Structure 1
Amino acid sequence: MNAKAEISTPKVPMDILVLGFCRTGTASMRAALSVLGYGGAHHIGRVMHNPEELAAWNAAIDSKFQPIKNYNYPNWDQLLGEFKVVADVPGILFAEELIQAYPDARVILTTRDPDRWWKSMRNTLLVMLDLKHTRLARWVDPHGLGRFVPFARRNLEILLGPLDTIDEATAKMRYVQYNDNIRQLVPPGRLLEYEMGQGWERLCGFLGKEVPRVEFPHKNDAKMILEGSERQIWGIYRRAVVKLLTPTAILMAVMFAVYARGI
């Protein structure tokens, strides 16, 4: 990699890079690390609620995958400096850069059987990010879902190729290649490969933490993620209807008051 990640003094030290592929349990891992005292993790949800950060990540993606003359990668610490943990996209698009930029951070590669991973990906994220399915909601909510879907699709298409023509064999091949690349980038002593279901002991042993007296978190299974997406879309429609009807309701109330007073 010719371009070097720019770094300044962080607000907090970067402790962990969770570089597992989407739909390998990264949400559960984020929750587990929070239980262990690492706080919240940087992930795509943070980006979508911060327009300036969205622009910075898009510019970084342009720089790496569609090179722009005289553009450098962002100051990673400016984007990530308040977090001890980075997980999921868009961070994993810059796995090599972040591994180099934060040499003291430990790396967790969440993994999943390729067949199970593909089934989960196909039945969740590919459904949620289908442009036809979300067209109306994106139009109604241009600054929310209207930004989220194109950005999330862009991340996945860099990793997997065009989503509209994606096929199982190619997707699984890219998934396996991605995991192999992380293994090559990280020295064994700095890397933990973790599959959901292995419990606290393996994770805590790697991090030097005591095992918590709570169950290991379980987040974002297929049912949870689809139900959450459906609630989000219907919430967008409800807010749009309320916004549309409110001026009409006010006007009708004024007209009724005028009529009642005989003015």
Structure 2
Amino acid sequence: MDIQTPSVTSTVRSVPMRIIVLGFCRTGTASMRAALSILGYGNTHHIGRVMIDPAEVDAWTAAIDAKFCGKGRMFGREEWDGLLGEFQAVADVPAILFAKELVHAYPDALIILTTRDPDRWWKSFRETLLVMLENKRTRLARWLDPDGYGKFVPFARRNLEILLGPLDVIQEVEAKRRYMAYYDNIQRLAPPGRLLEYEMGEGWERLCEFLGKDTPEAAFPHKNDAMMILKGSRRQMWGIYRRVAMRVLAPAALVVSVFIAMYFRR
């Protein structure tokens, strides 16, 4: 018996899927998303969208369970449109876990593979994503917000462990081996003429030629993924702390106010 697939949005696609960015996490995907926005592709779906919407966590978890655990129905075009129907481009996890499925579901979409030297990638990954997932503030926020942040962090961790293996025992050599194997797989997967391998720092020329776009006058965007990840994580956690503090302090403030009122009435 199939498990019911969670639905996030309408299964009617409102815009065509034009770009599938299959670069690994920490290879400049934030800069590429910004570049695609400048070129007229709108917002690109990425992990940040999932972070703010627990319903997306449920839907992507169903897709992961079906593909990697044999639970439920594998996603097809209808389910992908339900998740991604308002986007012309998709990047980063969890989408890169489904590279083959998305390439087949959207045969007209072009594929961009952002690349990075394995040594530089590992250093960035170790100092950002691993830190964010393991620090004490993260554990506290998960406990205080079990249905939001507490749901997202294990989901994000599961994404990375599918790609790299258990994070508790991750080692540089094995992580870089899996990283390079991922790129080999995408290169074999991409149909001829649909793939652009792009390294940050190249600028607009090759990207615009591949996409058939005029070169913008604006400089190619440079987004510091590391700072964006850490700042975004801290901002979300402090928001959780504030909301919890308000829930705790508001009743206390009411009790104090009642006692003050009673005191002055006497």
Please, what TM-score do these two structures have when normalized by structure 2?
0.90
Q: How many residues align structurally?
A: 254
Matches within 5 A, 1:177-256: 177-256=181-260
The DSSP-based 3-state class of the residue aligned with 2:81 is helix
CA distance in 2, matches of 1:243, 1:213: 49
1:109 to 86, 89, 113: 113
Once superposed, what is the RMSD of the aligned Cα atoms? 1.7
CA distance in 1, matches of 2:165, 2:144: 28
In structure 2, the CA distance between the partners of 1:58 and 1:146, relative to structure 1 (3 Å rule), is same
Partner of 2:27: 24
The DSSP-based 3-state class of the residue aligned with 1:193 is strand
Partner of 1:3: none
Native 8 Å contact 1:28 1:218 kept in 2: yes
Q: Does 1:123 align with 2:127?
A: yes
Matches within 5 A, 1:70-109: 71-73=73-75, 75-109=79-113
**Residue 150 of structure 1, CA deviation:** 0.4
Partner of 1:5: none
Give per-residue Cα distances to partners, 1:100-151, cap 9 Å, x unaligned.
0100000000000000000000000011111755221100121221111101
CA distance in 1, matches of 2:118, 2:47: 23
Large movers: runs of 4+ above 3 Å: none
CA distance in 2, matches of 1:56, 1:236: 23
**Residue 237 of structure 1, CA deviation:** 2.1
Give per-residue Cα distances to partners, 1:3-29, cap 9 Å, x unaligned.
xxxxx7622100000010000011111
CA distance in 2, matches of 1:239, 1:50: 17
Give per-residue Cα distances to partners, 1:190-223, cap 9 Å, x unaligned.
1011111111112111111111121222223323
CA distance in 1, matches of 2:258, 2:40: 55
The DSSP-based 3-state class of the residue aligned with 1:189 is coil
CA distance in 1, matches of 2:154, 2:208: 37
Partner of 1:40: 43
Question: Bigger CA drift: 212-221 or 248-257?
Answer: 212-221
Native 8 Å contact 1:48 1:147 kept in 2: no
Give per-residue Cα distances to partners, 1:54-98, cap 9 Å, x unaligned.
212111101111112x52325111111111001111100000000
Q: Does 1:60 align with 2:44?
A: no
CA distance in 2, matches of 1:132, 1:170: 26
Question: Bigger CA drift: 97-106 or 49-58?
Answer: 49-58
Partner of 1:4: none
Segments of structure 1 that go 5 or more residues without pairing to the other structure are 1-7
Question: Bigger CA drift: 83-92 or 42-51?
Answer: 42-51
Amino-acid identity (%): 68
The DSSP-based 3-state class of the residue aligned with 1:194 is strand
